Chain A
Amino acid sequence: MINLFEVVETNEMIAKENLDVRTITLGISLLDCIDSDLDKLNDKIYHKIYEAAKDLVVTGEKISRDFGIPIVNKRISVTPIALIGGAACKTVEDFASIAKTLDKVAHEVGVNFIGGYSALVSKGMTPADELLIRSIPLALSSTERVCSSVNLGSTKTGINMDAVKLMGEIIKETAEYTKEADSLGCAKLVVFCNAPDDNPFMAGAFHGVTEADKIINVGVSGPGVVKTAISKVRGENFEVLCETIKKTAFKVTRVGQLVAQEASRRLGVPFGIVDLSLAPTPAVGDSVADILCEIGLEYAGAPGTTAALALLNDQVKKGGVMASSYVGGLSGAFIPVSEDQGMINAVEAGALTLEKLEAMTCVCSVGLDMIAIPGDTKATTISGIIADEMAIGMVNQKTTAVRIIPVVGKGVGETVEFGGLLGYAPIMPVNQFSCDAFVNRGGRIPAPIHSFKN
Chain B
Amino acid sequence: MKKTIITVVGKDTVGIIAKVCTYLAESTINIEDISQTIVQGYFNMMMIVDTNKSEKHFGQISEELQALGEEIGVVIKCQKEEIFDKMHRI
Contact = CB atoms under 8 A, between A and B. Distances in A.
Main secondary structure, interface of A, reads helix
Nearest to A258: B86
A224 B83 CA distance: 19
B87 A4 contact: no
Which among B45, B77, B82, B87 has the greatest number of chain A C-beta atoms within 10 A? B87
Nearest to A322: B90
A126 interface: no
Contacts of A258: 82-83, 86
A68 B83 contact: yes
Q: How large is the interface on A (under 10, 10 to 19, 20 to 34, 35 or more residues)?
A: 20 to 34
B35 to A, nearest CB: 4
A255 B62 contact: no
Contacts of B7: 7-8, 11
Given A66-B58, A66-B79, A68-B78, A2 B84 contact: yes
Instruction: Please indicate which of the listed interface residues B5, B58, B78, B90 has the most CB atoms of chain A within 10 Å of its own CB.
Output: B5
A254 B86 contact: yes
Contact of A1 (B48, B82, B83): B48
A257 interface: yes
A10 interface: yes
A251 B89 CA distance: 9
Interface in A313-340: 322
B65 to A, nearest CB: 12
Contact of B35 (A3, A11, A65): A3
B83 to A, nearest CB: 4
Interface residues of B, number: 27
A257 B86 CA distance: 9
B44 to A, nearest CB: 6
Q: Which of B33, B36, B78, B79 has the most CB of A within 10 A?
A: B79
Contacts of B56: none
A69 interface: yes
Nearest to B79: A68
Contacts of A322: 90
Given A7-B5, A68-B79, A2 B58 contact: no
Nearest to B39: A8
B3 to A, nearest CB: 9
B53 interface: no
Contacts of A9: 88
A180 interface: no
Contacts of B45: 4
A4 B46 contact: yes
Interface of B: 5, 7, 9, 33, 35-37, 44-46, 48, 58-59, 62, 77-88, 90
Closest 3 CB pairs of A and B: A68-B79, A67-B83, A254-B86
28 contacts: A2-B5, A2-B46, A2-B48, A2-B84, A2-B88, A3-B35, A3-B46, A4-B35, A4-B44, A6-B88, A7-B5, A7-B7, A8-B46, A11-B7, A65-B62, A66-B58, A66-B80, A67-B80, A68-B77, A68-B78, A68-B79, A68-B83, A251-B88, A254-B86, A255-B86, A258-B82, A258-B83, A322-B90
